[in-house]
Structure 1
Amino acid sequence: MRSRPPRPPLIPRWVVIASVVFVLASIVAVVGVSIAARASRVVVPAVVGLPEPDAVNRLQQAGLVAEDAGTLFSDEVPRGRVISQEPAAGSTVDRGTSVRLVVSAGSETFTMPDVIGRSADEATRELQSLGLTVSTQIVESQLASGTVLESFPAPGSEVRAGTPVRLSIAGQPPSASGIAQFSFTGVTVLIDPVPRGTTPDITYEVARRLRALIEASGGTVVVTRSASATSSALADRVNAARAATASVSVVLDAASSGPAGLTVSVDPSKTAAAATASSAIASATAEALATASLAVRDGGSIRDPILSVVAGPGIRVLLGSLADAADMARFGDPDWADTVARAVYRGLGIGLGRSRP
């Protein structure tokens, strides 16, 4: 019996082999893509609490980009260290992703450093790096020129960014005192330091200094209240102003709110002659304040109960705003009070034409 020839396979062998090769290649491709995808993903490192340069370096090493997201005040995190990061540590992100860093600006209030004994340039750089506003004054001293002798606020005081700091620097001050000498003989000056409850009593501190300057120049001064007066009510001060028969009046006040800086105003109720003299005094006072590097604005006209009861000329000097931190810091500076008193003294002398022959 003849044998039947073998039937050829339904699927050629080469097709099977090709299919197996294709499947294996696909698997290899999928695995390769998966491995490549994993290689392009990185885990975000933890950088909170690190100094900013270290945090930036660590992110760069991980293949990420550090992005500055600003600063925040913090009582817990030291100045210059990272407060927060986004994305958070442990997140898986694409290589090259930006990580936003918020850096501590330090405590909003901090301790005034001790820069006494250091050079003026070095002290100024350090204080400005802390966000403080620095001014200097030259003081005659036997110490090396340029040495910091004193700071206000004093070392150890609580300050914050923007606080004005005055440094007394050893050197030879200008020979001129900056105070023009005037004769106030025969002149009675009424000073009304409006009580504002500040510590120190800033309106009274300026009034006290202004009184000393005028009396040293031969004038008579009447102050509407004392530092320890049991009553400083407006009615009592108005009565004192009426009884004074003053030649000229000066009201010293501080605003409870509003912009910072000094303002010089006049009362519009004055007679023509008194109004002209008031404007001359106000203009000379504003110029003297500006010459002393103090910020001053023209306050125009304002009705004032004290100025209105004194027949002669008068001005109202607003020393600043109780709502402004920088003004409040200046109110505690005795040298600032001296400077203001000297400027008002000069304004009175020039405005009244009281220069010594």
Structure 2
Amino acid sequence: MLVCVTVLAIVGVSVAARASRVLVPAVVGLPQPDAINRLQKAGLVVEDGGTLFSNDVPRNHVISQEPAAGSTVERGTSVRIVLSAGAETFAMPDVIGRSADEASRELSELGLTVSTQVVESQLASGTVLESFPAPGAEVRAGTPVRLSIAGQPVSPSEIAQYSFVGATVFLDPVPRGTTPDVTYEVARRIRALIEASGGTVVVSRSPSATSTALADRVAAARAATATVAVVLDVASSGQSGLALSLDPSKTGPSATVSSSIASATAQALSAAGLASRDAGRFRDPILSVVSCPGIRVLLGSLADPADVARFGDPDWADTVARAVYRGLGVGLGRGPR
């Protein structure tokens, strides 16, 4: 009888021991919430193993686990899981046109650090107008991203500080094949400011016509009968940064007004925190064929990585455009509206 009791006790202990042990489920490749749920259902404790970059495993999915799947462990054992931080670098998503909340949520889930700024726009409030870095740029987790968000529509008097009624401004954004098309982006912003101030703007080319021949742009300049001309260009090499220059063909009153515009533009840039230099005289093929005053604005150098980075910054382009606008207003003597 004693023997039977002993045997039963041993069997009971063995069964209880087996009942306290569990198989570790496979959670590699699962999203974090699913992996936690599966491990907890198996009676195991989840331990945070941190994150690693991975080009193969999506962000917030399990890269590895320890103990391995199929191991037999005591119930309550900790299973350490390592999550994917996503690819170390990836293309900036295109969120332009999306709502600010939706875009911010998507970018934050990718590990990007999102900030927003409200800009003047007639589009629906809360719409993403631009992003910096631009769509397609190479980014990584932690990269700061700034979204320009449409604000409430504003009246022309709030946008414009000078009256350009009766004035025609000719803009020549020199095609240089940059991405984005920085000379045209600045020209587009100047155009919006001038037109909001009652002026007429003629642009030498469209944004898609980056191969526009110089002869066509010269013909457009001659036909414009402009009040003032502004050439926007970038250098392929040489000194970096913003620079302003005058055409030596300008003499008399035209030279005086051109100099006033350049000086006022430099002051506006400085007030906005952007340094510029005087590039002296430069024989420009556009400015030399028009009789009106004009200036050449060099936006930077393609040989300088810092300049190239700024070319993709919509906030920088806005600041430059507003400085040129104010320079034109002051230099031409266009009184406040």
The TM-score range, normalised by the shorter chain, is: 0.5 to 0.7
Whole-Å separation in 1 of the counterparts to 2:136 and 2:179: 19
Distance across 2 between alignment mates of 1:293 and 1:155: 27
Q: Alpha carbons of 1:165 and 1:352: their partners in 2 closer, same or farther (altered >3 Å)?
A: farther
CA distance in 1, matches of 2:177, 2:319: 21
Q: Which whole-Å CA distance do the structure 1 matches of 2:183 and 2:312 have between them?
A: 11
Alignment of 1:57-96 (within 5 A): none
**Residues 206-285 of structure 1 mapped to structure 2, 5 A cutoff:** 206-229=186-209, 232-285=212-265
Contact 2:230 2:295 in 1 (8 A): yes
Give runs of aligned pairs for residues 112-131 of structure 1, distance below 5 A. Answer: none
Of 313, 322, 330, the match for 2:310: 330
Q: Please point out which of 302, 311, 316 is paired with 2:282.
A: 302
- State the SS of the aligned residue for 1:298: strand
Do the aligned partners of 2:134 and 2:312 also contact (CA within 8 Å) in 1?
A: no
- The answer to whether the 8 A contact 2:175-2:211 is kept is no
How big is the shift at 1:228? 2.3
Q: Compute the displacement of 1:138 (Å).
A: 6.4
Structure 1 residues 277 and 155: CA distance shift in structure 2, 3 A: closer
Confirm whether residue 198 of structure 1 aligns to residue 178 of structure 2: yes
CA–CA separation in structure 2 for the residues paired with 1:197 and 1:211? 21
Q: What is residue 339 of structure 1 aligned with on the other side?
A: 319
Amino acid at match of 2:275: A
Query: How far 1:230 sits from its partner (Å)?
Result: 7.7
Aligned residue for 1:264, secondary structure, equals: strand
Give secondary structure in 1 for the equivalent of 2:323.
helix
Match of 2:192, as an amino acid? A
TM-score by length of 1: 0.53
Q: 2:280 and 2:180 mapped to 1: Cα distance? A: 28
The answer on whether the counterparts of 2:164 and 2:198 sit within 8 Å (CA) in structure 1 is: yes
| In 2, Cα distance between equivalents of 1:211 and 1:155 | 24
TM-score w.r.t. length of structure 2: 0.56
Q: Structure 2: where are the runs of 5+ without partners?
A: 1-87, 93-103, 106-112, 120-129, 150-156
Q: Please list, as runs of the form range in 1=range in 2, the aligned pairs for 1:43-192 lying within 5 A after superposition.
A: 152-153=132-133, 158=138, 181-192=161-172
* 1:303-331 deviations in Å (ceiling 9; x for gaps): 11100111111000000111111111111
Contact persistence 2:189–2:321 (CA under 8 A): yes
Q: Residue 195 of structure 2: SS of its match in structure 1? A: helix
| 1:182–1:323 CA distance, 2 compared to 1 (3 A) | same
Q: 1:268 to 1:165 in 2, by over 3 A?
A: farther
The correspondence for 1:291, drawn from 259, 268, 271, is: 271
User: Which segments of 5 or more consecutive residues in structure 1 lack a partner in the other structure?
Assistant: 1-108, 118-126, 128-135, 141-149, 171-176
Matches of 2:295 and 2:249, distance apart in 1:
12
Displacement after TM superposition at 1:263 (Å): 0.4
| 1:267 Cα deviation from its structure 2 partner | 0.7
Identity of aligned residues (%): 71
**Deviation of 1:153 (Å):** 2.9
Q: What secondary structure is seen at the aligned counterpart in 2 of 1:263?
A: strand
Q: In the alignment, which residue of structure 2 is the partner of 1:12?
A: none
Equivalent residue number for residue 66 of structure 1: none
Cα 1:269–1:155 shift into 2, 3 Å:
closer
1:294 aligns to what SS in structure 2? coil
Q: Distance in 2 between matches of 1:282 and 1:271?
A: 15
RMSD (Å) for aligned C-alpha atoms: 3.8
CA distance in 2, matches of 1:154, 1:200: 8
Secondary structure in 2 matching 1:308: helix
> Structure 1 residue runs of 4+, over 2 Å off?
109-113, 136-140, 150-160, 164-170, 177-180, 228-231
C-alpha change, 1:230 and 1:207, in structure 2 (3 Å) is: closer
CA contact (8 A) 2:170 2:224 kept: yes
The code of the aligned residue for 1:317 comes to V
Q: Report how many residues are paired.
A: 221
